[in-house]
Amino acid sequence: MAKTKRNTVAQVTDFRGLRTDRQELFYKALASRRRLKLLRMLLLDNAPLTAQQLASRLGIHVGPTRRHLSLLIRVGFVEAHGTGQFAVGRRLSTTARAALDELLP
């Protein structure tokens, strides 16, 4: 996440290349049912999951799944683990796991 200037509202570039502040990006990450489903899947599964595994569980293509994961990674809810383009697993961050344990049924 690249900051634009010091002493101003911290801004980042979202997955479409638009400039936005971090708070807006945070709420945007939680505003999608699919992203919430991804978070729930990662919460329930302790092992890192690939974008392909998550996409098949959601019943959508891997491209949109990667875009959702990219936003979740940018705001710190998800961490990427492993190496290689196709071997990267995603896992819920420790902070997100603690928060979501209380919020999601």
Residue 19's DSSP bridge partners are 13
Going residue by residue through the chain (105 aa), what tens digit of pLDDT does each one get? 444 444 334 555 555 565 567 788 888 888 999 999 999 999 888 788 999 999 999 999 999 999 999 999 988 899 888 766 655 788 888 888 888 777 765
**Is 19 strand, coil or helix?**
strand
And the tokens for 90?
């995603």
What's the whole-model pTM score?
0.71
Asked if residues 63 and 49 have their Cβ atoms less than 8 Å apart, the reply is no
What ranges do the domains of the chain cover? 32-103
CATH of domain 32-103: 1.10.10.10
Question: How close are the terminal C-alpha atoms of the chain, in Å?
Answer: 31
